[in-house]
Amino acid sequence: MRGDAPVVLEARGITKRFPGVLANEQVSLTLQHGEVLALLGENGAGKTTLMNILYGLYQQDAGEVLVRGKPVRMRGPSAAIRHGIGMVHQHFMLVPVFTVAENIILGAETSRGPLLDMAAARRHIHELSQRHNLAVDPDALVKDLSVGQQQRVEIIKALYRNATILILDEPTAVLTPQETDELFVIIRSLTAQGVSVIFITHKLREVLALADRIVVLRRGRVVGETRPREASERSLAEMMVGRSVILQVEKQTAHPGATVLALEQLSLNDDRGQQVVNALTLDVRAGEVLGLAGVQGNGQTELVEAITGLRPVRAGRVLIDGQDYTGAAPRRISESGCAHVPEDRQEDGLVLGYSVADNLVLNTYYVAPFAHGIVRDGQAVLHHAEQLVAQYDVRTPNVTTSVAALSGGNQQKVIIARELSREVRLLIAAQPTRGIDVGSIEFIHQQIIAARDRGTAVLLVSAELDEIMALADRIAVIYHGRIVATLPATSASREQLGLLMAGAQPEHL
Amino acid sequence: MERAKPPKVDLWGRGRALLRAALIPTTAVLIALLIGALIIALSGANPLIAYSALFEGGLGSTRAFARTLEKATPLIFGGLAVALAFKGGLFNIGAQGQLLLGAIFAAYIGFAFQGLPPVLHSALALLVGALLGALWAAIAGLLKAFTGAHEVITTIMLNFVAFNLTDWLADGPWKDRAPGNIVARTPKVAAAAALPNLGGIPLGMILAALVALAVWWLIWRTTSGFELRTVGQSPSAARYAGIPVRQITVLAMVTSGFLAGLGGAVETLGVVGRFQPGFNAGLGFNAITVALLARTNPLAVIPAALLIGAMQAGASRMQFSSGVASEIIDVIQALILFFVAADSIIHGVLRIKPDDGEHVALSSGWGA
């Protein structure tokens, strides 16, 4: 075991306060040479804050950071890099129109006089990718790479700066199951060569598969430390949330009714004019959840936008309850009883500068009782908000609080409350629980199932296979803008879905 | 069903919020005046004498105050125009051009028709002026909504067109052909079109205050105002909520231009009495200062316009009494604008945190 390996990085009693929030309270942890330490916690538990302190992006209010036993003051990322710490952020920090090599050397250029020494840089990159099985073409443009490949570029970037301690912030959020497996192989090979890895995640399965040790954070404090052998998904979830959680969503058998949403031979272009959805046909019936599984970027986003009237349809038809809504205005589609939980909640689902109350009427502000003619009824809006906040368990000081001040989970509950509190025939939920805490996920899942049981047709688009498998009654797999298979949820396995998502032909399975 | 108790109106909280809101602009003005004093002192004059003359000239007498009101009135309309556009996420630099068109068309209606009843004549002239401003702004609004052309660029360009168009009209087809006149200007408007004073207060000023109230009501109490603010805060969330963003963008520019055009018409009918190129120079730009000083609050536009108006009114008195060039007022105004726009400097000076909640989108859409 690595029990006695030297400690390369240590945090002692780290405390960090933000206005009104204690993000980290007396957090201590150690990272040993060559191990994978999983840092597990809900969103808002303080994982990212802690890592940003270790990487020098924030300064702690109390406590100290030790690198190889010596206390250091991280005055910025450049200090962290000097101490051999590298970080791969959740959102990649790459310049799309630069080559892989250019991205890697950016900020750490090798030069001969005033000139870049690209040859030396490319040699070094080649050597690194050989040593760690990180296959990438140094001359490819980053914009042409898959997400998994871009992540490798980020890892090489850190290694190029001589990082021996690697912090990976939610690295699997954007990967297919197969790509995740590949990443794990890479991480294993890195640790075998003496790199130490901190792996931030909220996915329990991955923690158990990869970690040597697990540290769980809750509300800014370390609440437990364990090893995969001694833990189960259930015990980790309980530690994370502080109470037992139901990982399985309680639901009865679906009783699907008539077809509500019918997509017929739908073809769509993306913003750059490339065709991303190709003669796609799909039905969603009343009282069922249809899960659309697929790796991000296979046309799901565009599909949702087209159904909700936000993207022009190139060919084909969108029918809701048998009526043609192809190319209709978003408001007309919304008024037909179509609710939409958009993928990007802060950008598209909410107006962050608005109060909770105003966000709760963002698409109904113009109808009674919220408006009489063109005059708004502020009291009715507040009254409505008071009710929904209670009913949907939105944790907010009051309904006039700016929605920006709420946690991700509560922001998402505001959207769910807004969309489900009116008469709804069809619910389009895109990534409804991305990046939110387990408690909110559980609540939102219950609400989606409750809507289904009231006879709503639900189209669930999610990058989380677990979510699709937990909620869906039928699962459709999208690959390169086509539905490659539709299966009953009861007969679908993770492996089968993973292969379909990666483009395998159904008949070969 | 029992209706929840309406939340109590928190007067104390509102008062504090008001003070807080006024803190940044007030500090900006004070710092600008201090730097202005420094510049005056460096130029060898006594800043105290200069400033007291400025005060005298702006507020020291009934006549001085009347001049301040005269200067402030078009600034209120212009300030409202710019503030309303800001609420919709648009930076209307074209208030000047819209105002010019409003001014000259009001003049045309004023002199071209004779014998109309007084109320009708002035109302018609005001309306036509405002509509021309709206039309002028609509060009920029449509370009923004349907081609994505940035309104800052298009309104600047439209300003140049408006300058030259009004110059040509005033020196050509609509020139005052009275014997002896050699300058470019329109004939005087008919007495029936001119705006009178009501109890010593110019009718234009009363109108300006009423319009400010109306704009406040529109923005904060109507569904259209909600749509405008939503588009200004987050165009994508507005689109997702089913708000027709393009339509709102055009409407916001049109309303903004309407207000600016109305300002130009009031200036013509209430102050100048005709259109004469150069008489309204800079008004549309000072309106930007007013809107930002008021932090885009329609009601705060009134005191902000009065302040800038008083400085303009007092400038010549200051030059006369202390020998300080009246251009120093432009410098001070520029400094005010600078400190209001770069309010993080003031946050730093006062050691206060920027307030959250709705922000003013000063530079929304740049490069997007």
CB A418 within 8 Å of CB A360: yes
Is 90 exceeded by the pLDDT of residue A118?
no
Note whether A190 and A307 are same-domain residues.
no
Q: How far is B224 from chain A (nearest CA, A)?
A: 7
B317 falls in which pLDDT band (50, 70, 90)?
confident
Nearest-CB residue to A382 (from B7, B239, B359): B7
Burial B282-304 (b: 16+ CB within 10 A, else e): ebbbbbbbbbbbbbbbbebbbbb
Residues A212-241: what's their mean pLDDT?
87
Q: Does residue B360 surpass a pLDDT of 70?
A: no
B338: exposed, middle or buried (Cβ count in 10 Å: 0-12, 13-18, 19+): middle
B319: in domain: no
pLDDT of residue B4: 44
Choice between B83 and A273, residue whose per-residue pLDDT is larger: B83
Strand partners, A259: A285
Q: What is the mean pLDDT of residues B182-211?
A: 90
Q: Which domain holds residue B200?
A: 74-305
Q: Is A378 inside any structural domain?
A: no
pLDDT exceeds 90 at position A172 = no
The Cα of A330 is separated from the nearest Cα of chain B by a number of Å equal to: 5
Please tell me if residue B356 touches chain A, with a CB cutoff of 8 Å: yes
Chain B residues closer than 8 Å to A340 by CB: 240
- Say whether both A231 and A269 belong to one domain: no
Q: What is the pLDDT of residue A245?
A: 57
- The percentage of residues in chain A with a pLDDT greater than 70, rounded to a whole number, is 96
Between A and B, how many residue pairs show a Cβ–Cβ distance under 8 A?
Answer: 81
Q: Which of A311, A376, A391 to mutate to test the interface with B (most CBs of B within 10 A)?
A: A376
Band the pLDDT of A38: cuts 50, 70, 90: very high
Residues A183 and A295 in one domain: no
Q: Of B336, B347, B350, whose CA–CA distance to B36 is shortest?
A: B336
pLDDT at B367 over 50: no
End-to-end CA distance of chain A: 39
Decide if B190 is inside a domain. yes
Q: Is the Cβ of B14 closer than 8 Å to some Cβ of chain A?
A: no
Residue of chain B minimizing CA distance to A346: B237
In a domain, A348, yes or no: no
Domain match, A299 and A331 both: yes
Joined together, the tokens standing for residue A134 give 């990180």
Nearest to B236 among A340, A348, A371 (CB): A348
Res. A242: pLDDT tops 90: no
Please give the residue range of the domain that contains residue A39.
7-241
Residue A398 falls in which region: left (phi positive, over 0), alpha (psi -120 to 50) or beta: beta
Note the ipTM here. 0.85
State the pLDDT confidence band at B361, using cuts at 50, 70 and 90: very low
Q: By percentage, how much of chain B surpasses pLDDT 70?
A: 92
3-state secondary structure labels for all residues of A211-266: CCEEEEEECCEEEEEECHHHCCHHHHHHHHHCCCCCCCCCCCCCCCCCEEEEEEEE
Distance, in Å, from the CA atom of B186 to the CA atom of B168, rounded to the nearest integer, reads: 11
Query: Is A40 in a helix, a strand, or coil?
Result: strand
In this prediction, residues A211-225 reach a mean pLDDT of 91
Does B356 score more than 80 pLDDT? no
| Alpha carbon distances (Å) from A358 to A399, B87, B265 | 9, 16, 37
A382 found inside a domain: no
Give how far A349 is from chain B: nearest CA, Å: 6
Residue B299 has pLDDT above 90, yes or no: yes
| A201 shares a domain with A95 | yes
pLDDT digits (tens, 9 = 90+) for A471-487: 999 999 998 899 999 99
Give pLDDT tens digits for B241-259. 999 999 999 999 999 999 9
Amino acid (1-letter code) at residue A282: L
**pLDDT at residue B129, as a whole number:** 97
- Condensed to tens digits (0 to 9), the pLDDT of residues A392-415 reads 999 888 999 999 888 888 999 999
From start to end of A250-368, where are the E strands? Answer: 259-269, 275-285, 289-293, 315-320, 323-324, 338-341
The alpha-helical segments, DSSP class H, found in chain B are 11-42, 47-59, 62-87, 95-112, 118-147, 151-171, 203-221, 223-233, 235-240, 245-267, 283-293, 301-322, 328-341, 343-350
Query: Does residue A221 sit in the same domain as residue A299?
Result: no
For residue A492, give the CATH number of its domain. 3.40.50.300
Distance from the Cα of A396 to chain B's closest Cα (Å) equals: 15
- Encode pLDDT of A425-462 as tens digits: 999 999 998 777 778 888 999 999 999 999 999 999 98
A230 and A323 share one domain: no
Task: For residues A158 and A276, state if they share a domain.
Answer: no
CB contact under 8 A, B233 and A358: no
B327 assigned to some structural domain: no
Using the predicted structure, report yes or no on whether residue B231 has a pLDDT greater than 90: yes
pLDDT averaged over every residue in chain A: 89
Express each pLDDT in A136-147 by its tens digit.
888 889 888 877
3-state secondary structure (DSSP) of residue A27? strand
The reply to whether A267 and A194 lie within a common domain is no
d(CA A441, CA A434): 9
Give the pLDDT of residue A243. Answer: 62
Cα separation, B88 vs B76, in Å, equals 18
- Whether A70 is covered by a domain: the verdict is yes
Residue B224 in contact with partner chain A when CB distance is under 8 A: yes
Residue A296 lies in a domain: yes
Res B366 pLDDT > 50: no
Q: What's the whole-number mean pLDDT along residues B295-314?
A: 93
* Number of independent structural domains in chain B: 1
Contact A310 B234 (CB under 8 A): no
Give the model's pLDDT for residue B10: 66
Contact status of B6 with chain A (Cβ, < 8 Å): yes
For the segment A17-38, the average pLDDT, to the nearest whole number, is 87
Give a yes or no: residue A345 inside a domain: no
Mean pLDDT of A276-289: 95
CA atoms of A417 and A389, how far apart (whole Å): 8
- The pLDDT of residue B180 is 87
The answer to whether A347 and A395 have CB atoms below 8 angstroms apart is no
In this prediction, residues A172-187 reach a mean pLDDT of 84
Please check whether residue B56 lies inside any domain of the structure. Answer: no
Sheet arrangement for strand A289-293: A338-341, A426-430, A457-462, A289-293, A474-479, A482-488
Domain count, chain A: 2
Structure tokens at A74: 């991280």
Output the pLDDT for position A178.
Answer: 80
* Measured distance CA(A27)–CA(A61) in Å, rounded: 12
| pLDDT of B5 above 70 | no
State whether A198 and A281 are in the same domain: no
| Torsion of Cα atoms, B58 then B64 then B65 then B66, to 10° | -130
* B40: in domain: no
The backbone region for B177, taken as left when phi is positive above 0, alpha when psi lies in -120 to 50, beta otherwise, is: alpha
Note whether residue B45 is domain-resident.
Answer: no
What pLDDT, on the 0 to 100 scale, is given for residue A43? 67
Provide the shortest C-alpha distance from residue B250 to chain A (in Å): 18
Instruction: Based on the fold, state whether residues A226 and A275 are members of the same structural domain.
Output: no
Q: What is the average per-residue pLDDT within B103-126?
A: 94
Check B222 against A334: CB less than 8 A apart. Answer: no
pLDDT in the model for residue A295: 77
Q: Mutate which of B3, B234, B240, B246 to disrupt the A interface (most A C-beta within 10 Å)?
A: B240
The reply to whether residue A353 touches residue B353, judged by beta carbons under 8 angstroms, is no
CB of B239 within 8 Å of a chain A CB? The answer is yes
Is B1 part of a structural domain of the chain?
Answer: no
A158 in any annotated domain: yes
Distance from CA of B82 to the nearest CA of A (A): 21
Q: Which residue of A has its CA nearest to B231?
A: A351
Structure confidence at residue B247 (pLDDT):
96
- Choose, out of A18, A354, A414, the residue to mutate when testing the contact with B (most B CBs < 10 Å): A354
How far B148 CA lies from chain A's nearest CA (Å)? 15
Q: Decide if B240 and A371 are in contact by the 8 Å CB cutoff.
A: no
> What pLDDT score was predicted for residue A176?
75
- Residue A28, pLDDT > 70, answer yes
What's the mean pLDDT in A111-115?
A: 75
Both structure tokens of A152: 């490798």
Q: Which range is least confidently modeled, A305-314, A487-496, B125-134, B161-170?
A: A487-496
pLDDT of residue A177 exceeding 90, the answer is no
Residue B347 is assigned to a structural domain of this protein: no
Find chain B residues with C-beta within 8 A of A376's C-beta: 221-223, 225-226
**Nearest chain B Cα to A340, which residue?**
B240
A236, A270: one domain:
no
Name the pLDDT band for B1 (thresholds 50, 70, 90): very low
pLDDT at A456: 96
Q: What is the pLDDT of residue A144?
A: 84
A60, A16 contact by CB (below 8 A): yes
Q: Which positions ≥6 away from A130 have C-beta within 8 Å?
A: none
